[in-house]
Structure formats: C-alpha cells, structure tokens
Amino acid sequence: MLAIDSIKHLKAGTLPAAFGAALGAGWGFGMAKVIGFSAVMTLVLVLVCAGVGALIAAGSAGITKEKADQIDNEIHPGMHSVELRDAAWTTAPGAVLCIVLCTLAYQVGTGGLQWAA
C-alpha cells in the first residue's frame, strides 16, 4: 500500500500531466498542419507530443515543488522533507501517460492499429 504522502504527490502530478498533454497535443497538431502531414502521421505526432508534454510538465512540477520545500526549510528548518522520491511520485502520472501515448503512437504509425476508412 502506498503512503499517504506518495498518494498526495501522485495527485499533485495529475493536473500538470493533463495540462502538458493538452499543450503538447495542440503544438503537435499545429506543427503537423504546417508541415502538411497525412492524417495518420498527424495523429502520431499529436500522440507523441502529448506524451512528452505530459512527462515534461509533471516532472517540472515535481522538481519545482521539492525546490520550494527546500527553500521553505531554509526559512523554517524542518518544515518539509525534501526527497527525490517525492519528485518521482509527482512525475509518475506524466511518465505513465507518456508511455501509454507513445506506445499508441507506435501502434498507429506501424499499422498495428487500423480502422475502417
């Protein structure tokens, strides 16, 4: 069973991961339209950019939170624990989303997933 602190960090990473995925998907879609990709390649680029965006946003949130805790400890010693594990737990939702979306992009790009036209 996960500790309460780990669950709090997981929850704290979900919103940045979702926001990063949305931002990445929009950026990927815009780039695909500028470049002139086909529909399938546009979908692949959108999925990969969304996954990477989720990972970057959640990772940034985790690192920023731990740095803020470290600064708080300099002002009020012992107020927070500063651990790499906490940053990793905050990054975890973005990492999972990145793995799922990039795997889906691979399947679509290689023809593993097909749909009726």
* pLDDT reported for residue 5: 82
pLDDT tens, position by position, 71-115: 988 888 888 788 889 999 999 999 999 999 999 999 998 887 766
Domain boundaries, the chain: 4-109
Q: Using CA atoms, how far apart are residues 62 and 12, in angstroms rounded to an integer?
A: 8
Per-residue model confidence (pLDDT) at position 114: 67
Q: Which amino acid is at 8?
A: K
**Which residue reads 């975890």 in tokens?**
92
Q: What is the pTM of this model?
A: 0.88
pLDDT tens by residue, 5-56: 889 889 999 999 999 999 999 999 999 999 999 999 999 999 999 999 999 9
Give the pLDDT confidence score for residue 81 in this predicted structure. Answer: 81
User: What's the N-to-C CA distance of the chain in angstroms?
Assistant: 45
CA torsion angle for 71, 81, 67, 79 (degrees, to 10)? Answer: -30
What is the distance between the alpha carbons of residues 98 and 49, in angstroms, rounded to a whole number?
Answer: 9
